Structures are given as structure tokens and as C-alpha cells.
């Protein structure tokens, strides 16, 4: 079809990618024009094919989905991108939508939900399911961590002591303690263990 919705899939797992292609190929109005297995390839194929809609995983080799979305939209602000991921933490959702994604879907959703989202985003609308929107609202209503607090939190997740954190970030132990006290308050937790657990659950920090 000359007026088919042209789709780019950026997904590092071959089985998932092939499954998406097979599913989308059952719809006459859709055509998959290219497939990428990492972020770099996703940016290159977007430039080459200029798809109508891009399906983007968040966890990708070389650069993650949020970075890839940012690079694509820096050159093509009109790009229409739907995140398709297993990550449902509020920070993941916030970062992806802030980068310019027009939709955020969780893998495992019904095929019809994906089809409807592609049609909606292609038409210039946004598609964020209620459960995702609810988590995003929670993220937006709470205080944000500063970049330095996030750096400290990553070190806490790695199990580093205050002294080790100070050495890694080139700051004093006193400054480390100040950042920790601040981030504990913002996260609504009382100790480092809870902070680490919350960071991973919300997607503020990911362990590779």
C-alpha cells in the first residue's frame, strides 16, 4: 500500500523483534521498513528510512532507548516514537516521555492495543495507558533528585561506603552525607537499603 504506515523497530532481542514484525505484517495498513538491534543502528536507520512511526525498546546496547529517542528527535523533531518495554518504573516513563516519545507501552499488552497505539501516534496523538499515566503522575508530584544526588544514589546501589562514594565523585564525605540525607527525604525512605531498593523499583538506577 502506498499510504501504509511505515514502521521502524528498534529492539535488541531477535525473537521479540521477529514477533513484532510477524504481528505487524498481519495488518495491511502497516509495513515494517527496517529493524535495528541497537541504538546506533536505530538512529542510522531512522535517517535512512524516515519511518512514520518507530517502536523503541528502552534497554538497548551501545546507547539506551532514551538517548536514542533524544538523538532522533534532535534531527527530526517531528519523529513519532512509541516506547515498547518491560520497564514500568516512574522514572523510566518520565525520561522517555521527556525525551519526546509519543507513546509508552508495556510488553505483554494485547496486540490490538499496539495496533491502536500505532494508528493514534501516526495521527499525531499520544498513547499512554492508564497504569503508565498513574505512575507518571506520581513521579511528577514528587520532588526531583538533582544530578549529583542521582550520582550518589547510583553509588549507594553499588554498595559503596560514604568514603568510597566521595572518592568516586571527587567530593568530601561530609558532602556525601548531605546528599544522602537530601535524597532519603525526597525518596521518602529512612535508610540506604530502602533507597537502593526504591531506586531500582522506580527505574532511577538500573543494574546492567
| Superfamily of domain 5-140, CATH level 4 | Response regulator (3.40.50.2300)
Say which residue the cell 531506586 belongs to.
199
Residue 144 three-state SS? coil
Please tell me the predicted confidence (pLDDT) of residue 87.
82
The full set of domain ranges for the chain reads 5-140, 147-202
Q: What is the pTM of this model?
A: 0.79
Vertex 105, ends 101 and 110: CA angle to 5°? 150
Q: Is the dihedral of CA 110, 112, 115, 119 positive or negative?
A: negative
pLDDT the model gives residue 1: 46
Taking Cα atoms as reference points, which of 70, 34, 75 lies closest to residue 55? Answer: 34
**How far is residue 94 CA from its own chain's centroid?**
8
Under CATH, what is the fold of the domain 147-202?
Arc Repressor Mutant, subunit A (1.10.10)
At 97, list the grid cell: 516521555
How far, rounded to the nearest angstrom, does the alpha carbon of residue 25 sit from its chain's CA centroid?
25
Stretches in the chain below the pLDDT threshold 50: 1
State the pLDDT at residue 208: 65
- Identify the residue whose cell numbers are 495498513: 29
125 Cβ contact list (under 8 Å, min separation 6): 102
Amino acid at each position: 500500500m502506498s499510504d501504509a504506515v511505515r514502521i521502524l523497530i528498534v529492539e535488541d532481542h531477535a525473537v521479540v523483534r521477529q514477533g513484532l514484525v510477524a504481528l505487524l505484517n498481519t495488518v495491511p495498513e502497516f509495513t515494517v521498513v527496517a529493524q535495528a538491534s541497537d541504538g546506533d543502528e536505530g538512529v542510522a536507520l531512522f535517517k535512512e528510512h524516515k519511518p512514520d512511526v518507530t517502536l523503541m525498546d528502552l534497554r538497548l546496547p551501545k546507547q539506551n532507548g532514551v538517548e536514542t529517542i533524544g538523538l532522533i528527535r534532535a534531527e527530526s523533531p517531528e519523529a513519532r516514537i512509541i516506547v515498547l518495554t518491560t520497564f514500568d518504573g516512574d522514572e523510566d516513563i518520565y525520561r522517555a516521555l521527556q525525551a519526546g516519545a509519543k507513546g509508552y507501552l508495556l510488553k505483554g499488552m494485547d496486540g490490538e492495543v499496539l495496533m491502536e497505539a500505532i494508528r493514534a501516534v501516526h495521527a499525531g496523538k499520544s498513547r499512554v495507558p492508564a497504569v503508565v499515566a498513574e505512575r507518571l503522575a506520581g513521579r511528577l508530584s514528587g520532588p526531583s533528585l538533582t544530578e549529583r544526588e542521582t550520582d550518589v544514589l547510583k553509588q549507594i546501589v553499588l554498595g559503596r561506603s560514604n568514603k568510597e562514594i566521595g572518592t568516586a565523585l571527587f567530593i568530601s564525605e561530609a558532602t556525601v552525607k548531605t546528599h544522602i540525607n537530601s535524597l532519603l527525604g525526597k525518596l521518602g525512605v529512612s535508610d540506604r537499603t530502602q533507597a537502593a531498593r526504591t531506586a531500582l523499583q522506580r527505574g532511577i538506577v538500573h543494574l546492567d
